[in-house]
Amino acid sequence: MFHKLASISQKLSPGLRKIIGNVGWLFAERVLTIIISLTVGIYVIRYLGAENFGKLSYSISFVGLFGAIAKLGLDAIVVRNIVQEESSTQEILGTTFVLKLIGSLVTILLISGAIWNLNNESEVRSITIIIGIGLLFSAFETIDFWFQSQVLAGAMTVVRSGQLILSSALKLLFITFGMSLMAFVWLTLIDSLLKAVGTIVVYFNHNQTFFRWKVSWSRAIEMLRDSWPLILSSVMVTIYMKIDQIMLGNMVGDREVGNYAAAIRFSEIWYFVPVAICSSVFPAILRAKQRSKQEYYDKLQQLYDLIAWVSLAIAIPMTFFSSSLMTTLLGQEYSKAGDILAWHIWAGPFVFLGVARTQWLMSENQTRFSFATTLLGTITNIILNFFLIPIYGGVGAAIATAISYAVATYFSCLFYPPMFYTAGMLTKALIIPFRIHQNLIYLSYVKKVFS
């Protein structure tokens, strides 16, 4: 078997082998994450109960509304700049770290002020502020950007996996000893600290050091000039990813939030798939653009097709088995979670394609369109939530989410002429199960590789 795999590997180009290896590391990490997170998460959800789990989820969502500000929309821009300006890597990393540190501090202050004025429950206030402090360690994500630019996922996979295993073990201990809700809250802060420490250690082990980083305020202004539409876009994304739980908590109650949060854990846990694939192929797509426009768009279409197939393969089975899955794993207290999951899972295909489409927007510097479509999706989600939540509760929020993603990712492209070509590519991807000829071509390529 190993000889067979080695033979297959030799048929691939060095660049493709590196990409496949990078995706393999990321998928291995996420498979481990799925297994451990779902197993331990089920115990945590059952232990806390719908009401306490609803409080925790509400606070996490509240922090999430502001979390995009701390990121400053720099993630993909930093990776792109390092790939294109390798000689300026130290300056790019140092500038990014300082910007993210400032952004984190400002965000923590905003979160503290907002929760104090918008929520009168002292426990929820405390939970939210503690979780918010964890954003301070997000500045060390700068190191992860360097690993992404080098297509070296293995190192960070070890860090995140180690953090996951330790955190999960602590959660099980907390359950065994009957710890309170606040113990789980403090653990979220410890998780952020552990990830930052692990990231630094691995970076040093790769003969790198942040002592060589430089800060350039002129580059900072340039990066922010490129990223501000992405900041606004990310804020909009987090709003229409998190606002449903905030609105459910205010309009229905913590128990409904608990059911909804439990359901979307089984839906959103798949969102790593497009991120893993796209983060690995993004450098190759950028290089293809430099060689040939036709090759560039061919690779984009292949990416869209792959993403669509994967998302549909997840959504269809989950639709039919969601109810039995939720009650079996979580108990009758979460019986409503099954219906919520059956609807929410169909946000997946548009989330997947949205992540892939971002690669095109980044390479073409069309970040303003990204903000416009995200704003449209956010407005759609909020309006639909106002109408659907009072009638259908968590199911209404799930329907609103799926529709809003479809509007932001796909339908928005149908009304903006520069995006017509992309709309056509996305349409092809969405109907990929019916494109028999193209599927046969893909199948023949796969057979050729494995023959």
**Mean pLDDT per 10-residue segment, the chain (451 residues):** 48 54 60 76 86 86 82 72 72 81 89 84 88 86 73 68 85 91 90 84 77 79 75 72 82 84 86 80 74 82 90 92 87 86 94 86 74 85 93 92 93 88 91 86 73 61
Task: Report pLDDT for 134.
Answer: 87
Contact residues for 326 (Cβ-Cβ < 8 A; gap 6+): 262, 263, 266, 334, 335, 337, 338, 341
- 122-133 vs 14-71: helix axis angle to the nearest 10? 140
Q: Please tell me whether the overall predicted TM-score, pTM, comes out greater than 0.95 for this model.
A: no
Q: Is 349 left (phi over 0), alpha (psi -120 to 50) or beta?
A: alpha
Token pair listed for 399: 């329907």
Residue 351, amino acid: V
Greatest Cα-to-Cα distance within the chain, rounded to the nearest angstrom: 65
Q: How far apart are CA 402 and CA 407, in angstroms?
A: 9
Q: Is there a contact between 214 and 371 (Cβ–Cβ < 8 Å)?
A: no
Q: How far apart are CA 186 and CA 193, in angstroms?
A: 11
Nearest to 304 by CA among 349, 351, 356, 364: 356
Does residue 207 sit in helix, strand or coil? coil
**Residue found by looking up tokens 């909020």 in the block:** 382
Q: How far apart are CA 101 and CA 111, in angstroms?
A: 15
Contact residues for 356 (Cβ-Cβ < 8 A; gap 6+): 274, 277, 278, 300, 303, 304, 307
Number of neighbours of residue 421 by Cβ within 10 angstroms? 12
Nearest to 64 by CA among 15, 139, 152, 128: 128
Task: Report pLDDT for 373.
Answer: 85
Task: Report pLDDT for 316.
Answer: 92
Q: How far apart are CA 65 and CA 71, in angstroms?
A: 12
Task: Report pLDDT for 98.
Answer: 82
152: DSSP letter: -
Q: How far apart are CA 215 and CA 113, in angstroms?
A: 30
**Roughly how many angstroms between the first and final C-alpha of the chain, as a whole number?**
13
